[in-house]
Amino acid sequence: MAAASSAAPAPESSPAAPAAGPQVVLVTGGTGLVGQGIRSFVEGAGAEGAPEGETWYYASSKDGDLRKAEDTRALFERVKPTHVIHLAAKVGGLFHNMAKKVDFYRENMLINDNVMGMCREFKVVKLVSCLSTCVFPDKTTYPIDETMIHDGPPHSSNEGYAYAKRMIDVMNRCYRDQHGCSFTSIIPTNIYGPDDNFSIQDGHVIPGLIHKCYIAKRDGTPFTIWGSGTPLRQFIHSHDLAALTVWTLRSYEEADPIILSVDEAAEVSIRDVALMVAEGMGFEGEVVFDSSKADGQFKKTASNAKLRSYLPDYKFKSMKEGLAETCKWFIENFETARK
Ligand code: NAP
Ligand code: GDP
């Protein structure tokens, strides 16, 4: 079980007073897959119901290296955020995580420590940070829920990343107990959509498969899927995640994390995802499974019951539709896409 908050001592400093004037929302990692999804939501459907005068700042690493305390302070001094959605992280797929465990741990610990520290110092009214379902224990019961984060070791393939992310959950409670901060976190499943990192070596499975399929179609070579294709995953489109993350910022008052996921019934095998990618890319050549490559965690089936208790009718984009759109986006943006 997640450490329950024991009878907490009185906060050392009083909770941040709501800032006078309009809200300024800083999105760290604002140029990535999720950050750009948030931008298109906020500038589209999300404009309805937005607080009067709310402004958004989408930070990239060019605005400051958040591994460095002085850069993080300079960003907060410049933007003066009242609210923060913290997405910036060293992010990668299974194979990148397996190769760079130390980097994933150290860089994410530095980034998270700097951002949380500045949110306290600048009396940010609310901080929403981003975990991932791959931080959950490998050996567990299913479906996984929000109370199970610390129940056992994560899968060894991504333990550097997972332990760094788990510490966000721990520190959210510590900041609340010592300083009265309103820090919370979201736990998305695997994400996909436009503006992803389509690197074959370093990226996640969907952008990697789309890029590999593009090359296979262009060069008339086989489309190779790594591993057995049997592992199961839940995928959320970045635009759904964006809408739910902004809802979390505006309406979710708990300090405890919330899983942002499609329903359990929407879980798919990597094989089925690969076949949907082939269809979305219009690929009709040979499909090959390279079982010499790792499968990673077999599944991490997450429950969205908590989310459904708040938003019972939220309708997620279907994978077929979302994948077809993402394939089209990659083809149209091939020259400039991150890869
Ligand atoms: P992404 O597309 O790789 O984007 C990462 C973002 O972080 C970029 O804006 C990048 O800036 C910024 N960044 C990285 N290192 C930085 C540093 N040292 N200083 C400042 N900014 C830095 O990642 P994403 O997929 O949107 O992920 C967003 C969040 O979701 C992350 O916290 C990730 O752990 C979590 N998550 C992702 C997935 C997934 O499947 N993608 C699943 C679960 C959870 P530049 O553009 O300048 O490089
Ligand atoms: P994970 O969900 O955290 O394990 O990360 P990924 O998004 O990297 O998905 C990994 C799963 O997809 C594993 O079962 C891999 O064997 C499988 N897979 C198949 N082809 C690829 C590929 O081209 N890239 C990646 N990253 N994974 C692939």
**Domain total of the chain:** 2
In this structure, the answer to whether residues 176 and 271 fall within a common structural domain is no
Closest by alpha carbon to 28, among 69, 70, 72? 72
Please name every residue paired with 288 in a beta bridge, in sequence order, or none if there are none: 224
In-domain check, residue 338:
no
The residue whose CA is least distant from atom 14 of ligand 2 is: 295
In this structure, the answer to whether residues 154 and 220 fall within a common structural domain is no
Give me the mean pLDDT over the 170-195 stretch.
97
Percent of the chain with pLDDT over 90: 91
* pLDDT, tens digit (0-9, with 9 covering 90-100), for 267-280: 999 999 999 999 99
In-domain check, residue 18:
no
In this structure, the answer to whether residues 249 and 285 fall within a common structural domain is no
Q: Are 316 and 272 in contact (CB under 8 A)?
A: no
Look at residue 13 and tell me whether its pLDDT is greater than 80. no
> Ligand 2: which of 91, 94, 136 to mutate, most ligand atoms within 8 Å of CB?
94
Going by C-beta distance under 8 Å and a sequence separation of 6 or more, which residues neighbour residue 281? 210, 213, 214, 217, 327, 331
The reported pLDDT for the residue numbered 25 is 98
In-domain check, residue 290:
yes
Give me the mean pLDDT over the 84-101 stretch.
97
In this structure, the answer to whether residues 63 and 78 fall within a common structural domain is yes
In-domain check, residue 311:
no
The reported pLDDT for the residue numbered 10 is 36
In this structure, the answer to whether residues 217 and 241 fall within a common structural domain is no
Phi, psi dihedral angles at 274 (to 5 degrees):
-60, -40
Going by C-beta distance under 8 Å and a sequence separation of 6 or more, which residues neighbour residue 313? none
In this structure, the answer to whether residues 240 and 104 fall within a common structural domain is yes
Percent of the chain with pLDDT over 70: 94
CATH code assigned at 288: 3.90.25.10
The residue whose CA is least distant from atom 12 of ligand 2 is: 205
The reported pLDDT for the residue numbered 20 is 59
In-domain check, residue 173:
yes
Q: Would you call 214 a catalytic residue per the annotation? A: no
In this structure, the answer to whether residues 102 and 247 fall within a common structural domain is yes
Going by C-beta distance under 8 Å and a sequence separation of 6 or more, which residues neighbour residue 278? 213, 223, 284, 287
